[in-house]
Amino acid sequence: MTGFDISGIPIGGGAPFVLIAGPCVLESEDSCFSIAKELKSICGEIGVPLVFKVSYDKANRSSGSSFRGLGIKSGKKLFAKVKRELGLPVTTDAHSMEEVDEIAPFIDIIQIPAFLCRQTDLVVGSAKTGKPVNIKKGQFLAPWDVRNIIDKCLGAGNDKIIITERGSTFGYNNLVVDFKSLPIIRRFGYPVCFDATHSVQLPGGAGTSSGGQREFVDPLVRACMAVGVDALFLETHHEPDEALSDGQNMVPLKNLKNLLLHAKALDAMVKKQDMI
């Protein structure tokens, strides 16, 4: 498998899993920076490499009246502060090439949202920045369909590719994870990430917003680690029930340490077996 570094953090190639974590949306600079600071402390204590994430704009909310974030200017300010004061690499999602061009100098990984994973201009343009690109597999795609997305990045001269599994549409307002998808995608030779919190989302399940079943995040994390992944994506918040987006599927920050300890133990066991 192809591995590469994200600001000095190895991903893929048998390296320990990388955690990509943070709140769903930029609610305030102070709250997001506080979460980033606590994440750094937790991950530093238990030895898990961390990339901080938050969305400055949630452009695909269920309702047009839902909170979307503080916008790209606030996002750039926060990312610069997290990198400068905490020394963490950062990532966020971009929805257009105009956003990519503006945000790329401030982040370490460009994230392509699941609903936009087949937008060729966005995928190719993001790849042409030379930054690592994390592409979320659409809920509507089979795992083997990501080969075409990978080829778009490679055609743009970028092989720093991460593919994120985040569940597949299963009837109305529900997602299901087919864990066969993880080894299928890994066969293409690039790091695979598992998004455990969006995989328990109930899209549009609350009518004007999405629901979620955060009680299933822990078993899904254990399952993905047992199958084998290169990165784990989790959204977290001090008070998820008070969060302005995706609160029902976010992990309370106070519960994160134990979840990561379990994940780290399983990851080490599986990758040790892979080397035998």
Q: Quote the pLDDT of residue 109.
A: 98
Q: Quote the pLDDT of residue 15.
A: 97
What is this structure's pTM? Answer: 0.96
Where residue 181 falls among pLDDT bands split at 50, 70, 90?
A: very high
Where residue 276 falls among pLDDT bands split at 50, 70, 90?
A: low
What does R_g of the chain's alpha carbons equal in angstroms? 17
Per-residue pLDDT tens for 23-76?
999 999 999 999 999 999 999 999 999 999 999 998 876 777 788 999 999 999
- Number of domains into which the chain is organized: 1
- Round to whole Å and give the CA distance between 203 and 57: 18
For residue 103, the domain's CATH number is 3.20.20.70
Q: Looking at the DSSP assignment, which residues form a beta bridge with residue 175? A: 169
Nearest to 256 by CA among 213, 212, 214, 200: 214
Q: Quote the pLDDT of residue 246.
A: 86
Mean pLDDT of 232-244: 95
Note down the domain range covering 76: 4-275
245: left (phi over 0), alpha (psi -120 to 50) or beta: beta
Where residue 270 falls among pLDDT bands split at 50, 70, 90?
A: very high
Mean pLDDT of 230-258: 95
Percent of the chain with pLDDT over 90: 88
